[in-house]
Homo-oligomer: A and B are copies of this chain.
Amino acid sequence: MRHSIATVSLSGRLEHKLAAAAGAGFDGIELFDNDLVASTLSPREVAARCADLGLAVELFQPVRDVEGVAPDGFGAVRRRFAAKLDVMEQLGTSVVLCCSNASPDALDDPDLSAEQLAALGDLAAERGVTIAYEALAWGRHVSRFAQSWDVVRRADHPSVTVAVDTFHLLARGDGPEVLAGVPGDRIGFLQVADAPLLRTDLLEWSRHFRCFPGQGGLDVTGVVAATVAAGYDGPLSLEVFSDVVREAPPEVTARDARRSLIFLESELGESAAPLPDRVDAAFVEVPAGHEDLLTALGFVEVGRHRSKPVTRWRNGAAEVVVNRAPTDTALGVVVPSVPAVAARARALLWPEVDRSRGAGEAQLPGITSPSGLHVFVSAPDGADDWIGDFAPTGTPPAGDWGGLDHLGVAVPEDRLNEEIGFLRTVLGMVPAAVEEFIEPRGRLRSRAVRPSAGDLRVVLNVEHAAGADRSGVTQVAFACADVRAAATALRERGVPLLEVPGNYYVDLAARFDLTDAEVDDLRRHGLFYDRSGGGELVHLYTEVLPTGFYVELLQREGGYDGYGSAGTHVRLAAQQH
């Protein structure tokens, strides 16, 4: 049989994957769509590279969520599918993997699924393409091989076949017997993968991932409050175990554990140091040496600290502080009462950064997070307002940037729980769900945290990648009213903007009903785009700067509330070029 391997099975950039597959003697590949979208090679260049290496492009995969779609959404599916057929033609491949609909909105109607697959089969047949339809083990309604074969039989279309994937088939407890009676020419593709027999259940969750109250997402407070309300007067006892605490020094774990109980009691109303009502972003502090970059970004120096070697820079509402003393990139936040937060931090056993203070200056205590992020705490006005410490120097800034949109911080895996615990217990910031992204050398897990009120956003990133050991601020993202104008201005001032691969815009056109002019406009400006609910995000990234971080500019419209996750894998790949 011909030997083939999916590009998603190999690490690295696409050209590296292709060379490795050819080097090991494979006859062909499955091209993973995300690998293409993130590549700087055009589909025709990929086809030529494969031909040079003696590799057939056996399959293009996957096109998702194409059947079981509400009829009013099927037009978008046809458009998306047709766009991928164009790409396949340039690749010179004739089999496309469509996997069963995994969306919560999928409809449970095998006849509808069959009808929609047959309609796509008509489009495919015009291009000489065969669809291989695969039952994902976690498909919403079609999750077992027999169900996918049933849909293919109902479709009754020469270009619609069934795919066999050993993982999906076996993971659901089926075996070879479900293939009985399926004619070989109706099997469009065979994907093979093995897996260890693992438990993926509550027991594993409990054994490997428990964490201290305030580090996770369970309503621990509610249950404890109900237990106390019932009249329980015994101890409040932590029973936490995880891969993290098994390897951490017990002193570190014990201190975090105590903090979590102090937090829990404060949630029960037993603390004299409540959480701040709101938390807003104030400024980013960077070390000296960033002045030229700030100027190129459009920042202007507007003040000098009265007693320290520190200057204040602005671009519109964006505030950056440059510290000539040795320092890491740090974050300034604004809370209603500085003494209240300082008292809370002390109650939670967090050490204060030592800050000397001139006469009449703001208190501005600094607290260091477990991952090493310095957080300076200021008040919106009065004696504890950080702005009062600066004597005006420059002209009022002409820039049109908004404030800090979010800060991206790299956190070592074994400190993530502590970092979340810090932001949650001191500032009341709540973590969102974990998001995971594939990058060329590994993967990235992200958790965004935000307070219940106020505009501060922090995205914590754990890198699981060969050689990854970054920590600290990796991304500084500002809001922006006109990101197209900003892109033009930044280019003129020589700021290196991240180059976006052309395939990304082809994929954008497939995913959204943008006009050609709109897509061209995004491409010309080198912008990323996302849409969610009624909102839109248009954004850009600089390259990773010599200072170790990169700058993002975000134009949020219509209440868009996310971070452009759909393009993150493209950004990660582009940053490694």
Contacts and interface: CB of A to CB of B under 8 A. Distances in A.
A27 interface: yes
A422 to B, nearest CB: 14
Given A8-B239, A58-B235, A179-B230, A433 B197 contact: yes
3 smallest A-B Cβ distances: which pairs?
A184-B231, A194-B216, A20-B250
Query: Taking chain A's interface residues, is the majority helix, strand, or loop, or is none over half, making it mixed?
Result: mixed
Contacts of A433: 197
Contacts of A209: 195-196, 198
A190 to B, nearest CB: 5
Nearest to A188: B234
A449 B475 CA distance: 47
B237 A59 contact: yes
A182 interface: yes
A224 B192 CA distance: 8
B11 A245 contact: yes
A5 B433 CA distance: 27
Contacts of A239: 5-6, 8-9, 30, 61, 165, 167, 191-193
A471 interface: no
Interface of A: 1-6, 8-12, 16-17, 19-21, 23-28, 30, 56, 58-59, 61, 95, 137-138, 164-172, 175-177, 179-180, 182-185, 187-198, 200-207, 209-220, 222-241, 243, 245-251, 253-255, 257-258, 260-261, 264-265, 431, 433-434, 436, 438, 441-443, 464-466
Contacts of A229: 179
A245 B17 CA distance: 12
A65 to B, nearest CB: 15
Count this chain's copies in the assembly.
Answer: 2
Contacts of A258: 3, 24-26
Given A201-B200, A205-B198, A10 B190 contact: no
B230 A187 contact: yes
A4 B235 contact: yes
A193 B211 contact: yes
A218 B248 CA distance: 35
A230 B193 contact: no
A191 B245 contact: no
A349 to B, nearest CB: 8
B169 A223 contact: yes
A283 to B, nearest CB: 30
Contacts of A183: 230-231
A58 to B, nearest CB: 5
A253 B20 contact: yes
Contact of A241 (B8, B19, B61, B212): B8
B23 A236 contact: no
A44 to B, nearest CB: 22
